[in-house]
Structure 1
Amino acid sequence: MQPPRPASAARPLVLGSTSVYRRELLSRLRLPFTVEPPHVDETPHAGEAPAELARRLAAAKAAAVAARHPGAVVIGSDQVADLDGEPLGKPGNHANAVSQLRRMSGRTVIFQTALAVLCLDSGFAQHDLAPVRVRFRTLDDAEIEAYLRAEQPYDCAGSAKSEGLGIALLEAIESDDPTALVGLPLIRTCRMLRAAGLPVF
């Protein structure tokens, strides 16, 4: 039986993301990591389904950063709100957020959160999808306006932060990986990191 590998021998961990939400989520695991922007074009392809868009972008982000850090274990993730097969991206501004929330009012939206973990030197590569079904309450314009003025979630797919006041917009959330809706499915992340040789404990 071989002795435990010293911590210094562990591969570095890199989060390929510009998201403050993913950075905060990954920090909950108490693993040392660095953050690097992946610089990936997130434009959907013509006719691309939301789940496939999320998968492609998560893989592309991980690959872009792994190419610069081949010895590291790299995490890439992406989330696309799926309304009846149509991808809804980050609203970017108030008017777009109003439009998104009006469309989602009283509807069920699937937040497709994709995850990719790569290490080029070891040949490790795993990908997964953590869909989250979110049922929105029927919202009136006054509620939408009050919420957006309070939280300004213009950098969030679907125009709402479930971890904040946005929870008041919802009727139900169905998921097997609770942090997936915020942007990084930590149960799946832990499983992949263990498989890549970076146990959390």
Structure 2
Amino acid sequence: MIPSNELVIFILAAFGLVITPGPNMIYLISRSISQGKKAGFISLLGVISGFLFHIILVSFGLTTILMSIPFTYFILKTVGVFYLLYLAFEAIKISGKNVFQAQNNLTIDNPPKLFSMGFFTNVLNPKIAFFYVSFFPQFIKTENGSVFSQSIQLGLTQMAVSFMVNLLIVLSAAKCAQWFNKNPVYLKIQRWFMATILASLALKMALDKK
């Protein structure tokens, strides 16, 4: 099992990932605004199922790679640092998109299609797989037990964080859209807050000599 102090740091990283605008967030907001909370929730279940798909594949892959090629850790660590810095930069770009101005004229779809669209929106999102592959190894240590089990633990933790945050987004999408449109200054605060979390985690990762 992963120590609780390390797990808290990982939860912060997962939080930084989920509040960074991307395909999942844009789709869930658009669907919730255009078709209602129920449609947004069904779409969210599809998105969460997509996470599970990534987790299983990455867990098997990391188990093989980290146990056979130890130097891979350094490579993945370096990639992870630059990726987090990239996300921080994307968060504060002047041209950064207001996701609460997302498309709100989507067609009305039935539950199976909503679920499948949420699933494939996540499965085909390279940001998720890249986060898992580059970030999981920073928290996996052989002395804490099975690499596969630790990877699954991290994945389920990330899924839980993503579900709770995205559920709040689905339930409040319409109100948030109105509020942010009336108070655009808070979008800048949101972006800088995200960037600070991501940059701090990148620094912590870069200085970690374990």
Class of the TM-score when normalised by the shorter of the 2 chains: under 0.3
Higher relative contact order (CA 8 A, sep 6+): 2
Structure with greater helix percent: 2
